[in-house]
Structure 1
Amino acid sequence: MSGLEQMLRLQKWTLDEKRRQATDLEALIDRLRGDVRRLDEEVANEVEAARNDLELQRVLPDYKRMMAERRERIEKSIADLSAELDKLRDQIMESFAELKKTEQTIANRAQRQRVAQRRREQNRADEVGLQLHRRKKDTTL
């Protein structure tokens, strides 16, 4: 296996790994967004329940503040993960570009080798043709 082919394998593996990481980050972000939705629903349910219960109405402001802080932490995590995902997507684009350059280099090298091989074969055929022509010319004299 040539050095370029080994580099191509490494680039493919790296690209696949980055894509897996991006997929994992996207899943985590989706899960956190679901957590925010569930948190909002839970707060709405508690507010509704507090309408009929005086004891719940007294603790509701503390509960809402605590849930707002929790929601804020989750949203900060989502923002951090989204920034990390953006960086990873940039890296994926760069890795993909490098992979395509390597593939093109390998294809160009293979094309040059095919052209050189055809040229050698043509030169051999021309040499055989010349020898046959000389022999035929020598026998006619």
Structure 2
Amino acid sequence: MKGKQMSNETRNNYINRIIVVINFIEKNLEQELSLKCLSKMACFSPFPFHRSFLAITGETLNAFITRKRIEKIAALLLTGTRDHLTDLAFKYGFNSANSFSRAFKKFYGVTPTAFTENFSKIGIAVLTYEKYICSINHMKSK
């Protein structure tokens, strides 16, 4: 809507459509999450969807999906998964263990192994998801 102010009703409609997609992504991190499929779900064509998603969330669709997948794997690591890192990387859409490790390190500043070891060193054996989020937020604010 170049040159025109978007009405509150239209804005709320766009936000609600993006929220539907966000909820779907969060529940389906193990699935292929393509721009085409997600934009269709939100009743947008791909380019306007991508632009609206960025405007509403402050992240590109790909960055959002990657972040959510990394956070999910980090939560699994902290809550004591028996799955190997490589298996988790492939399960959550990374092409290789190396690409996952690079993305994880970029996000948290440490490798997945160091991340897990740092938490075990301070005596955190098992966390609930809520405690994990608080811990991660605390780590990221340092």
TM-score class, shorter: under 0.3
> Which one has the bigger helix percentage?
1
- State the TM-score, normalized to the length of structure 1: 0.24
Q: Which has more radius of gyration? A: 1
User: Bigger relative contact order, structure 1 or 2, given CA contacts below 8 A and separation 6+?
Assistant: 1
